[in-house]
Structure 1
């Protein structure tokens, strides 16, 4: 792996990747969002918020931890959670361990809504992402992305 301070000019292939990355990610997020909104009335952010809560122990997570996973600022996540709470999909409770913290709790209605939306999301991800990655080694791609984010 090259040094992080390597100033060797980018190759044409490297330039092509870096120039395509941001528009591709933006297009994917827009497509996932449009498909979920059209079919289920949920934004992609609302969907992944429900998904992370469903995966959490007791379907509960501290809002600051959830914001990090969803990649939203705490205030933006607060707005997302309030929308989900207004629809009865999530409840908010003050933490018993830390009175300054709040937890989001996935309700039974939220779990049912997530399950209903899952097939739309899977189809969207396949159509907009995986169907376009023909010949790409997905294992190596996933490892490379984890290397970028520093996750295991």
Structure 2
């Protein structure tokens, strides 16, 4: 160190710069390790979610198959033999009715047309309760209103 630096009060040893550099590098390394841990945890959560969704899909598929077999038994169709077209149609119709039942909230919001007159959902129910329209007409009108939704009313 020369005398000028001592006299001016400036001491430039370079050790503070090296320590600061090392501290920045250490902090950068810690930040990268922390980010890698977060990424690993997120990847593990994503993997578990995918596995969970796959289990749900498999169980749903198994449940639907079991339900179709149960419907076939109820209809007297032997599932061990090949189904003819009539039996397939009968089973499909029974299954469709079981799986596509409309939620009550949807039925409660749809207007229906009975005898060429459009009625609000509550108005139609009230008229049905008073006997002003037949149950069969009400059900047919609700089913017609639900057709675009791929559902049916029971």
The normalised TM-score by structure 1 is 0.29
Answer with 1 or 2: which has the greater Rg: 2
* Higher RCO structure (Cα 8 Å, ≥6 apart): 1
More helix by share: 2
If the length of structure 2 is used for normalisation, what is the TM-score?
0.29
Q: Counting strand residues as a fraction of each chain, which structure ranks higher?
A: 1
